[in-house]
Every structure is written in structure tokens, then in C-alpha cells.
């Protein structure tokens, strides 16, 4: 049945789709009918297996997004898969943990390059292609609770995700009238590789859990529904939003 959430005939690029939130988003978009161009540094066999049952087209591209070099290859592959790029999900991200007093330039640059620099230039390159035929598209950036809060021991991550929030609004201002929706999702505390260190720390994990009104850590599937919404016609008049999916954390 056709609905405003139907993504059949659309092609989505999802970065960092090999695991965690990216995998959850890729699966949700595929379940809504989108073809998936999955991008990641490691094998995406598990993601491909999960998506196979949806019957949508799938292709994986191995790419290191710490540089801009793979961008054209990624977008060419998306166009080969489905004719054009309709949806971009800038999910790929890394984190480095250390006290601010000890934080290194290398850890600063590594995080900023992946989380902010590549996010911008992949969005820019995608928008150029989306504008060619006048059909526009949807760009979804993955922000963080640390787009709103400071956090501790992750200075470059906080800076990058605060930058993602600002960048989302700027791009929405420039591209909304051209038919491109730019929005972001700010996941809360989700069970992923990036949060493993926190979950292994019994005190920190208990402190975090005690503040989440939903009473649990989130999972990748919790983010997928928000991505389908922002990628769909239901969100056509939504621009520049940073949508928390956090179990109520920010409401506390």
C-alpha cells in the first residue's frame, strides 16, 4: 500500500552502514522500499544479509571517509544502482576519549575529518547531483546529544557534533527552496561500538541509565524509524531540524 512513508523507487546512500546505527538505518530504509548503497570501512556482509529479505537492490562500497577521495566513487555507484541519489544519510563517525588537558592534535583532526569535514563535502557533492534534474532530495546528518550538551572526555567529538547541528541548519537555509531537505537525527545513548566503553564502566552505565526516562539504552532500530520519516514525503516541509531520539534524555 502506498503511503507518505513509501520509499520505493528511491536510492539511499548510508555511510557507516556496516554496523550499529548505520546498519539499522539502512535496514529501515530498505524495509520502506529504498535501494541501498552502503558505505563502510569493514565488511557489510551482515548488513547485506539483513536487507536481502526486503527485496530491494543493495550494493556495498568499501571506503575510508577520513579523506574526500572516495566521494565521487560513492555517488557514481549510487547512480549506477538506482539512476540518481535521492537520499543521503551521513552516519559515519568516530570518537576519541581522553581528558581535555591531555587531548592530542591527531585525535582532534581524525574525528573532525570524518565527523564534520567529510559530512559537509559529501552533502555538497550529493546536492550538486540532486539539483541536476530538479527533483531535489533528502539529506540526513547524524548529530548527537553532544550537539546540545558538552559531555566529558570527548572534546573533538563534541565539537564535531555541535558543528553537524549548525551545518544542518545552514544547508537547510541554502537548499530548502531548491527542493532539498536537510535535517539531522541526534541519537541518545545507543548500544553501538562507540558506546562500548561507557557500557563496560558499571558506574557510568548505571548513571546514564538512571537519567533516561524510557528506562533503557536505545538500539539501532530506534533510529531507523526517524530516518524513514525524514527521508519520506511526510517530512517535505521539515527543514533544519535536529531531532533527538534519546528516550527522553534531554527532557529530564
The answer to whether residues 164 and 118 touch, using CB atoms and an 8 Å cutoff, is no
Quick check: is 189 catalytic? no
Q: Locate all alpha helices (DSSP H) within 32-154, ordered by sequence.
A: 45-52, 71-82, 105-112, 118-130
C-alpha cell read off for 227? 530516518
Give dist(CA 161, CA 186) in Å, integer. Answer: 9
C-alpha cell read off for 85? 541519489
Output b/e per residue, 180-203; b: 16+ Cβ within 10 A. Answer: bbbbbbbbbbbbbebbeeeeeeee
- 52 contact partners, CB below 8 Å, separation of at least 6: 58
> What angle is formed at CA 123 by the lines to CA 121 and CA 129, rounded to 5 degrees?
105
Give dist(CA 96, CA 75) in Å, integer. Answer: 28
Marked catalytic residue, from 12, 89, 157, 224:
157
CA distances from 220 to 1, 14, 78, 168, 172 (A): 26, 14, 23, 22, 25
For residue 118, which of 67, 174, 163, 64 has the smallest C-alpha distance? 67
195 in the Ramachandran plot: left (φ > 0), alpha (ψ -120 to 50) or beta?
Answer: alpha
C-alpha cell read off for 203? 558506574
- Active-site residues, by number, are 157
Amino acid at each position: 500500500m502506498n503511503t507518505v512513508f513509501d520509499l520505493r523507487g528511491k536510492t539511499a546512500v548510508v555511510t557507516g552502514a556496516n554496523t550499529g546505527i548505520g546498519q539499522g538505518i539502512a535496514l529501515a530504509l530498505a524495509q520502506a522500499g529504498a535501494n541501498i548503497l552502503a558505505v563502510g570501512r569493514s565488511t557489510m556482509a551482515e548488513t547485506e544479509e539483513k536487507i536481502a529479505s526486503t527485496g530491494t537492490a543493495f550494493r556495498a562500497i568499501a571506503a575510508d571517509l577520513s579523506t574526500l577521495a572516495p566521494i565521487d566513487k560513492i555517488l557514481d555507484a549510487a547512480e549506477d544502482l538506482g539512476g540518481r541519489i535521492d537520499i543521503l544519510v551521513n552516519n559515519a563517525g568516530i570518537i576519541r576519549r581522553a581528558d581535555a588537558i591531555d587531548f592530542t592534535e591527531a585525535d582532534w583532526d581524525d574525528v573532525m575529518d570524518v565527523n564534520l569535514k567529510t559530512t559537509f563535502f559529501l552533502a555538497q557533492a550529493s546536492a550538486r547531483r540532486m539539483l541536476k534534474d530538479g527533483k531535489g532530495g533528502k539529506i540526513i546528518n547524524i548529530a548527537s546529544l553532544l550537539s546540545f550538551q558538552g559531555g566529558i572526555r570527548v572534546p573533538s567529538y563534541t565539537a564535531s557534533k555541535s558543528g553537524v547541528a549548525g551545518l544542518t541548519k545552514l544547508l537547510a537555509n541554502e537548499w530548502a527552496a531548491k527542493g532539498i531537505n536537510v535535517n539531522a537525527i541526534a541519537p541518545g545513548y545507543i548500544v553501538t561500538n562507540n558506546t562500548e566503553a561507557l557500557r563496560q564502566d558499571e558506574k557510568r552505565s548505571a548513571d546514564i541509565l538512571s537519567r533516561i526516562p524510557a528506562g533503557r539504552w536505545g538500539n539501532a532500530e530506534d533510529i531507523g524509524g526517524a530516518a524513514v520519516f525524514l527521508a519520506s514525503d511526510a517530512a517535505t516541509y521539515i527543514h533544519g531540524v535536529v531531532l533527538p531520539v534519546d528516550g527522553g534524555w534531554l527532557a529530564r
